[in-house]
Chain A
Amino acid sequence: MKYCIYGAGAIGGHVAARLAKAGEEVSAIARGPHLEAIRQDGLTLLVADQDRFTVDVNATDKPAELGPQDVIFVAVKGPALPAVAEGIRPLMKDDTAVVFAMNGVPWWFFHGLPGKYEGRRIETVDPGGRMWDAVGPGRAIGCVVNSANHVVAPGVVRNDAPKPNRFWLGEPDGSRSERVLAISAAMEKGGFAAPVSEDIRKDIWGKGLRALANASIGSLTTTASCHFLSNPDIRPIARAMMQEGYDVGVAVGCDCGIDIDADIDQVAGSPPHRHSMLQDLEAGRPMEIDGIIGVVQEMSRMTGTPTPTIDMVLALVKQRARSAGLYDG
Chain B
Amino acid sequence: MNIEKICVYGAGSVGGFLAGELAKRGHTVSVIARGAHLAAIREKGLTVKTPDETYTVKPFATDNPAEVGKQDLVITVAKAHSLPAMAEGIRTLLGPETPVCFAQNGIPWWYFYGLEGPHKDRKLETLDPGGKLWDLVGPDRAVGTTINSPNEVIAPGVVHNKAKDISTFVVGEPKRSDTARVEAIAEAMRTPRVNVEVTTDIRTGVWNKLLVNLSTWAIAALTHAPSCDNMSNPELREVASRMMREGLAVARSFGLEPECDVDATMEKFGSSTPHKPSLLQDFEAGKPVEIDTVLKITREFGKLNGVPTPTMDILVPLVEQKARSLGLYGK
Residues of A within 8 A of B (CB): 217, 220-223, 227-228, 231, 233-234, 236-237, 309, 311-313, 315-316, 319-320, 322-324
Contact = CB atoms under 8 A, between A and B. Distances in A.
B318 A237 contact: yes
Interface string B215-240: 00001001111000110010110010
Contacts of B316: 233
B223 A316 contact: yes
A237 B317 CA distance: 9
B321 interface: yes
B313 to A, nearest CB: 8
Range, interface on chain B: 20 to 34
A275 B174 CA distance: 48
Contact of B321 (A228, A312, A323): A228
Given A313-B314, A320-B223, A323-B224, A223 B321 contact: yes
B325 A316 contact: no
Contacts of A231: 317, 321
Given A234-B318, A237-B318, A313-B314, A220 B222 contact: yes
B322 interface: yes
B225 A221 contact: no
Dominant SS at the A interface?
helix
Q: What 10 A-B pairs come out closest when comparing CB atoms? A: A233-B317, A315-B235, A319-B223, A221-B321, A323-B224, A223-B325, A221-B322, A323-B225, A320-B223, A220-B222
B318 A221 contact: yes
Contacts of A223: 321-322, 324-325
A146 to B, nearest CB: 26
B325 A319 contact: no
A312 B239 contact: yes
Given A220-B318, A234-B318, A323-B229, 16 more contacts: A220-B222, A221-B325, A222-B325, A233-B317, A234-B321, A309-B314, A315-B235, A316-B222, A316-B236, A316-B239, A319-B229, A319-B230, A320-B223, A320-B224, A322-B229, A324-B224
A140 B144 CA distance: 67
Contacts of A311: 235
Contact of B314 (A228, A237, A322): A237
30 contacts: A217-B318, A221-B318, A221-B321, A221-B322, A222-B322, A222-B326, A223-B321, A223-B322, A223-B325, A227-B325, A231-B317, A233-B316, A234-B318, A237-B314, A309-B314, A311-B235, A312-B235, A312-B311, A313-B314, A315-B233, A315-B239, A316-B219, A316-B222, A319-B223, A319-B233, A320-B222, A320-B223, A320-B224, A320-B225, A323-B224
